[in-house]
Structure 1
């Protein structure tokens, strides 16, 4: 990734960074353990964004 990024790329990366987090604990309680983890988690080394 270059150090000079366009604003669009920077926005895209910021969105992906925000999405890549575990689910809150209260959702765990609310769904009665139906949703245990975030299935859309992404590891920086295993799965690339395709930029």
Structure 2
């Protein structure tokens, strides 16, 4: 479908945000992050745009 550039830019940012944390971050000292709490599933949660 036809998208404006603004919409496409937002979709690109959200696609980049929607990935697991790198494995080396879990190995750091005093690390409490186990997984990306802000993962978004394309069918469950919509972006609202």
Q: Tell me the TM-score normalised to structure 1 length.
A: 0.88
Alignment length, in residue pairs? Answer: 49
**Structure 1 runs of 4+ off > 2 angstroms?**
none
Instruction: Please list every run of 5 or more consecutive structure 1 residues that lacks an aligned counterpart in the other structure.
Output: none
Instruction: Please list every run of 5 or more consecutive structure 2 residues that lacks an aligned counterpart in the other structure.
Output: none
1:20-31 matches, within 5 Å, as 20-31=18-29
Root-mean-square deviation over aligned CA pairs: 1.2
Q: Tell me the TM-score normalised to structure 2 length.
A: 0.92
